[in-house]
């Protein structure tokens, strides 16, 4: 009888961590909740980025600036020092 009781206790001790691992996968797990929140935040940021890009897509072509215009030679003339 003592051997049976000792075997049951040993089995319970060894099976305890296996049951504890199943509890960590519940939706109330803080790590899962934090991971889901980060995914939602990333999707929200991505959506905002896409909206801004679509709004500003046609505005960049209006003004063209040539920062080197004073440095180029025009019709064989010497560049300004």
pLDDT in tens, 53-64: 888 877 666 667
Q: How far from the centroid of its chain's Cα atoms is residue 38's Cα?
A: 7
Q: What is the pTM of this model?
A: 0.41
12 vs 81, which has greater pLDDT? Answer: 12
- Indicate the DSSP class of residue 63: -
* CB 14, CB 6: distance < 8 Å: no
Q: String of b and e for 13-23 (b: at least 16 CB within 10 Å)?
A: eeeeeeeeeee
Q: What is the Cα–Cα distance from 56 to 48, expressed in whole angstroms? A: 12
């Amino acid at each position: 009888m003592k051997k049976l009781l000792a075997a049951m206790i040993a089995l319970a001790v060894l099976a305890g961590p296996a049951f504890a691992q199943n509890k960590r996968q519940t939706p109330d797990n803080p790590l899962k909740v934090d991971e889901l929140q980060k995914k939602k935040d990333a999707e929200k940021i991505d959506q905002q980025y896409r909206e801004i890009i679509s709004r500003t897509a046609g505005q960049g072509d209006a003004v063209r600036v040539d920062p080197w215009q004073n440095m180029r030679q025009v019709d064989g003339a010497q560049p300004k020092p």
